Amino acid sequence: MDLHDTPDRADFRRRLREWLGERLPSGPVDGAPAEVDLARLLAWSTSLHEAGYAGLTWPAEHGGRGLPPAYQGIFAEECALAGAPDQLNVIGLNMVGPTLIRFGTQAQQRRHLTPILRGEHLFCQGFSEPEAGSDLAAVRTRADAVPHGYVINGDKVWSSYAHVADFCLLLARTGEPAARHRGLTCFLVDLRAEGVLTRPLRQINGESNFSQITLADVSVGEDAVLGEVGGGWPVALTTLAHERGTFAITLSARLRVQFERLLATVRATGRAGDPDVRASVARLHIDLQALRYTGYRALTRLSRTGDPGPETSILKLHWSQTHQRLTRLAWELLGPEAALDAEDAFWSGYWQSQLLRSRGDTIAGGTSEILRGIVAERVAGLPRSR
């Protein structure tokens, strides 16, 4: 497992810090991060591409820089520490792009890969459904074959950034329900097509970062199939592995920044000498270090094999639980002052908003129950429970 930067990585980190320092204010030490709008996020994506920081690990023939996965980890850490905005096309860059490189036809790659890098083709993911949740083998959205293509009907939910996306990597059933995962196919669906309705869903903290997608007799061509017909399961698993692996490293890096905000909150509330608070903070620090080194282990495996391993599920599972514990501790420290609608609320209600948002962490990207099953069977080698 690689724990230290090589000279080349150290130089990459130094130059990235300088670039971020020229374009961003000093990194967030306390308080809520500044709100950003769609135009600013698009401009930031353009800046990343122009500077060569989009598609770091993509092969050079597909517009990337062909760097080892460790460089993506460095990029994630430094952007988090600098308080950089989100990459609006994070799903396209980190999940759909690698899946297209592995399973896409040359025509699909030519159509999408360069626009993904430029931020021109924004992607979302259409896997979860109202009646299936994280059990992808229970997907009900159907894609029925017609001459020269398919007609898709169904609903998807929990689709992050779908309300601003241009395309969706969609999982649909082309076989019989009894076939479970053997009857699924992945499609690249244009969200501007007739019959597609995207409805943003408001979360309990007031934000609307994900949506429900309804597809009513949506026609797609045969060229929309990603991978083989009936072979959508390995395509979906590849996408999810990248979501839980490379993107989890980004989330873990942001959590380290949020830990610094927690320390600032502890000091601001005069609880720095409280032994119970100190013990809770120490446990969180240990959890963060465990996440960090698990991320390094995942990156090392990815560098050696080219594919994220099942250990990435540990990252997502542990990150989601740690985020909930961290935000709850900060909220408890503040008490009534944490409320969003309190007059002159501490950091404008930042911690209550984060606490409410964290409730979805153990659902999105695979529920904790699903992830524990993956870890038990594929990491610990335990027998299947069913």
The pair of structure tokens assigned to 258 is 């949020």
In angstroms, the CA 207 to CA 357 distance is: 9
Taking each helix axis from N to C terminus, what angle separates 275-305 and 232-268, rounded to the nearest 10 degrees?
150
DSSP E strand boundaries for 5-98: none
Instruction: Give dist(CA 74, CA 160) in Å, integer.
Output: 24
Angle at 348 between CA 343 and CA 266, to 5 degrees: 105
Cα(58)–Cα(69) distance, integer angstroms: 9
Closest Cα partner for 196 from 174, 176, 177, 224?
224
Catalytic residue of the set 77, 78, 129, 243: 243
Q: Is 348 left (phi over 0), alpha (psi -120 to 50) or beta?
A: left
For residue 243, indicate whether it is catalytic: yes
Residue 97 Cα distances to 56, 111, 129, 238, angstroms:
12, 12, 23, 11
Q: How far apart are CA 131 and CA 190, in angstroms?
A: 23
- Cα–Cα distance for residue pair 289/287, rounded to 1 Å: 5
State the pairing for strand pair 210-221/149-160.
Answer: antiparallel
- Token pair for 67: 């760097």
Strand partners for 167: 123, 190
Give the DSSP per-residue string, 192-246.
TSTTEEEEEE--TTS---EEEEEEEEEEEEGGGEES-TT-HHHHHHHHHHHHHHH
Residues marked as catalytic: 243
